[in-house]
A and B are shown apart, each in its own frame.
Chain A
Amino acid sequence: MSNLPHDILIDILSRLPAKSLGQFKSVSKYWYSLISSPRFIKLHHRRALSDTNTNHSRVLIMSTHSLHSVNYESPSCYEGIDDDDNLNAIISLNDPLEKESVGEKALGSCYGLVFFVCYNDVILLWNPTTRTTRLIPDPITPFSNATRFYGLGYDHSIDDYTMVRASRSISSDAITSQVFSLKTGSWRTIKDAHMNINDPDEIGSFSNGAIHWIVRHRAHNGGFNKSETILSFDVKDERFLEIRLPNSGEFENEESGFWSVGDLKGCLYVVYGGDGVDMDVWVMKEYGVERSWSKVIKLDWIRVPCDYGMMPVCFTHGDDVVIDLDSWDLVRFNIKENTYKRFKKCSTDWHFWVVYTETLVSPFG
């Protein structure tokens, strides 16, 4: 069967998981050059992101002393299941930061890449699948220390990942920002945006072509201001916009809850939760249309054993939702049946988590 046409071989190979492809590079010189080609990597990347048959995503769990990657679809993840499946349900990874001798403050992800924001404003990009790392050079313009925020996005039109680093001025309403393109390997300053926002989350979430952060409106009277909203940055248009949260009239008197934003199955979502607060997940069914916010999950905090708060991580193939409890545990929750399964605990203390997709993409673009 060595006479399979080139295009057909590419079609077949582009459906394989990244791990298989890594092994198959050693099949022959022809297969090696085919799998390593930028065109193939781009096709495989696109397929992995839109595949409805197989799950190509995993949850990365980072603790003080350990780093694990979890295939949340595999039943071998659950507590009480002892069989060791060949799909490597939970794998331990070497900390990429140790190699570079930097300490991380926060982490985020976008599709196939994970990024770490480290002390001294150093940023490390990492493909957890191929283990390739890239330290992003410092931008030339130093920022003041206060209120910096970051995000990683992907521009489909040019097949390039973009790192965004922004800062809100202390004295004015200006948002200064720079973008780093993986392909060009350099920072570029974006024209200042002027928006009445304050206190942004440090790490943004990518969804629908834009990076999103929860921010607060500045209080003009200097008083305590709890009016939150979403700040978005479209990676293609390079524009900041505000998206209002769902009608939060009911939350005005809640002091203990907080908003978070992310992506669930391609839709922008926000969750309001916290200590003793029910978890309400709202999904923006039509991106950009504020009246399309719909409450899709409502979880009484009493049902699921947690002390501090719950955060949805991702949906599974069968529409169960993986939830993080107290940055300590993960559970898989079946909404219809109101039941949940605990994941095996990989670490001995609390953790950060991000979702990433297994691809061959290089942090070098």
Chain B
Amino acid sequence: MIEDDYANTTVPLPNVTSMIISKVIEYCKKHVESAKNEDKKTAEEDLKNFDSEFVKVDKDTLFDLILASAANYLNIKSLLDLTCQTAADMIKGKTPEEVRKTFNIKNDFTPEEEAEVRRENAWAFE
């Protein structure tokens, strides 16, 4: 995170929209406030609720948040953790075809190759 000494320095953030930045700032503000809360139990409960509401966004916004929180100059581990876990939960129950649609991936297996991979991993499809 940005040290106190650098509070007034400009940090370059290419390829990140102002909408994403304001969301990230919202996240950081909430987490800093929560750490100051004396009542640890309600703070934890409150933060948990905030986090689960925070990631209720569309897929593209989620991925933009992942990229922003991973950005070397920001490196917000807890946000990266939260957003990656959300992405994992999102694809957990999907079929391979649905996953390709979600990630915009081209299937570069031939039908025979794909059948072979499925056969090799039949245990996963049971």
User: Which A residues fall within an 8 A CB radius of B?
Assistant: 1-2, 4-5, 7-8, 11-13, 15-32, 53, 86, 88, 91, 129-131
Contacts and interface: CB of A to CB of B under 8 A. Distances in A.
B63 A19 contact: no
A348 B121 CA distance: 30
Given A4-B66, A22-B124, A29-B109, A17 B103 contact: no
Given A8-B70, A23-B95, A2 B103 contact: yes
B126 A91 contact: yes
B85 interface: yes
B109 A26 contact: yes
B96 interface: yes
B84 A12 contact: yes
Q: Can you list the 4 inter-chain pairs with the closest CB atoms, starting with the nearest?
A: A22-B124, A15-B88, A22-B121, A26-B117
Interface of B: 59-60, 63, 66-67, 70, 80, 84-85, 87-88, 91-93, 95-96, 99-100, 102-109, 114, 117-118, 120-121, 123-126
Contact of B123 (A28, A29, A53, A130): A130
Nearest to B113: A29
B51 to A, nearest CB: 12
A32 B117 contact: yes
Given A12-B87, A26-B114, A20 B92 contact: yes
Contacts of A28: 100, 105-109
Contact of B105 (A22, A27, A129): A27
A13 B87 CA distance: 9
Given A4-B66, A17-B92, A25-B117, 10 more contacts: A4-B63, A4-B67, A12-B84, A20-B91, A23-B121, A26-B117, A28-B105, A29-B109, A86-B93, A130-B123
Contacts of B85: 15, 53
Contacts of A18: 124
30 contacts: A1-B59, A4-B67, A4-B103, A5-B67, A12-B84, A12-B88, A16-B88, A17-B92, A18-B124, A20-B91, A20-B92, A20-B93, A20-B124, A22-B121, A22-B123, A22-B124, A23-B124, A24-B91, A25-B120, A25-B124, A26-B114, A26-B121, A27-B96, A27-B99, A27-B100, A27-B107, A28-B105, A29-B108, A53-B85, A130-B123
A132 to B, nearest CB: 9
A223 B38 CA distance: 64
Nearest to A11: B84
A80 B99 CA distance: 36
A11 B124 CA distance: 21
A26 B126 CA distance: 15
A24 B70 contact: no
A114 to B, nearest CB: 14
Contacts of B96: 23-24, 26-27
Nearest to B123: A131
A181 to B, nearest CB: 26
Contacts of B117: 25-26, 32
A24 B96 CA distance: 5
A319 to B, nearest CB: 18
A25 B92 contact: no
Contacts of B125: 22-23
Nearest to A129: B123
